[in-house]
């Protein structure tokens, strides 16, 4: 897995930047790995708790109360669009690039990735059932489903998990009954050793078999998620940590403008994201057309 990641990043980004965009050998893993790593960085690891500056000790609360406050204060939208800057590091290698994201709630995620001067390197379109990817550098495309993503990352993500991690919300349609509450680092912590999808939302075997070890840290000021740590109950799954900070008001709602994802692997992976120009509930377009000269990624 780690060798494949190094090959992917070195081939798709470093060689393109340093060698003036020469064509490179492409497999769908090569370009796709970096994109998925940015979205979910579906790995995770040791973290520092975000600490809120408060004068008095916070009051102990039970998990039911904390989940009620969490749901009340989740980021709400119909459509979401933003620009972002990304800093990606894997071991001693570092890459920087820019992009755009557009989301229709519970339906569609559209992303573009590129460098300065308006040069687009890749485009991604994700729905609840499909994953589509364009590699502008090598004129390749991929159309498939989550099976490829899950096999490649040794996990079982779905659309709802991706959407939640991008926006800093809790996973929708998952049970909350088995959590324990505690105070940790000046904030609240919710922890469970077995979180499943609610039965009425299970659509396939992957949904039914997906079980998470999960911790959620909440700010005592606004009950927004400041950090999550998740790991599936499978032998080969990785641990993902996502941290949320830089909260600013967007239409009266606190939203984290800074995100940091950490993946626990033999080679440490960190992805930092900074959002800008966030717009809610506007009519959006999601262009995704495969040029006739593009070939399927192998």
pLDDT in tens, 225-247: 999 998 876 656 678 899 999 99
Q: How many domains does the chain have?
A: 1
Range of 33-42, 115-124, 162-171 with top mean pLDDT: 162-171
- Residue 118: domain span: 2-43+60-279
Give the predicted TM-score (pTM) of the model: 0.77
- Evaluate whether residue 102 is within a structural domain: yes
- Cα separation, 102 vs 227, in Å, equals 23
- Cα separation, 141 vs 88, in Å, equals 23
Who's near 15: CB < 8 A, 6+ residues apart? 22, 24
Q: Which two tokens stand for residue 276?
A: 């800008």
- Evaluate whether residue 82 is within a structural domain: yes
- Evaluate whether residue 257 is within a structural domain: yes
Nearest CA to 42 among 232, 266, 209?
232
User: Are 248 and 257 contacting, i.e. CB atoms less than 8 angstroms apart?
Assistant: yes
The pLDDT of residue 169 is above 80: yes
The pLDDT of residue 174 is above 80: no
- Evaluate whether residue 233 is within a structural domain: yes
Nearest CA to 260 among 1, 108, 60, 50?
50
Q: Which two tokens stand for residue 208?
A: 């039914």
Compare 30 and 291 and report the one with higher pLDDT. 291
For residue 79, the SS3 value is strand
DSSP character at residue 10 = I
Grade residue 34 by pLDDT with cuts at 50, 70 and 90: low
* CATH number of the structural domain spanning residue 181: 2.50.20.10
34-58 average pLDDT score: 51
Size of the chain in residues: 298
Measured CA distances, 77 to 123, 183, 280 (Å): 23, 30, 6
- Evaluate whether residue 287 is within a structural domain: no
Grade residue 143 by pLDDT with cuts at 50, 70 and 90: very high
175-200 average pLDDT score: 81
- Evaluate whether residue 49 is within a structural domain: no
Q: Is the dihedral of CA 289, 291, 292, 294 positive or negative?
A: negative
């Amino acid at each position: 897995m780690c060798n494949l990641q190094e090959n992917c990043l070195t081939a798709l980004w470093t060689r393109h930047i340093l060698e003036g965009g020469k064509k490179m050998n492409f497999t769908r893993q090569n370009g796709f790995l970096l994109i998925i790593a940015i979205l979910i960085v579906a790995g995770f690891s040791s973290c520092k708790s975000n600490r809120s500056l408060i004068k008095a000790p916070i009051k102990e609360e039970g998990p039911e109360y904390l989940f009620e406050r969490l749901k009340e204060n989740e980021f709400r939208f119909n459509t979401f669009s933003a620009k972002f800057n990304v800093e990606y590091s894997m071991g001693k290698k570092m890459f920087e690039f820019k992009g755009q994201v557009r989301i229709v709630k519970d339906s569609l995620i559209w992303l573009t990735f590129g460098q300065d001067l308006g040069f687009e390197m890749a485009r991604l379109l994700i729905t609840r059932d499909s994953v589509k990817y364009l590699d502008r550098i090598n004129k390749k495309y991929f159309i498939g489903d989550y099976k490829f993503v899950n096999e490649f990352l040794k996990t079982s993500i779905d659309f709802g998990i991706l959407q939640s991690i991008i926006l800093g919300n809790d996973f929708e349609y998952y049970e909350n009954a088995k959590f324990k509450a505690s105070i940790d680092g000046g904030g609240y912590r919710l922890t469970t050793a077995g979180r499943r999808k609610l039965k009425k939302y299970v659509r396939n075997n992957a949904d039914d078999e997906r079980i998470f070890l999960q911790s959620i840290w909440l700010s005592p000021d606004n009950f927004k998620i400041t950090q999550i740590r998740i790991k599936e109950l499978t032998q080969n799954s990785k641990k993902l940590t996502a941290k949320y900070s830089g909260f600013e008001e967007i239409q009266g709602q606190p939203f984290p403008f800074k995100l940091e994802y950490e993946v626990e692997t033999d080679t440490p992976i960190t992805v930092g994201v900074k959002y800008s120009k966030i717009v809610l509930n506007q009519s959006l377009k999601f262009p995704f057309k495969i040029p006739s000269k593009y070939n399927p990624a192998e």
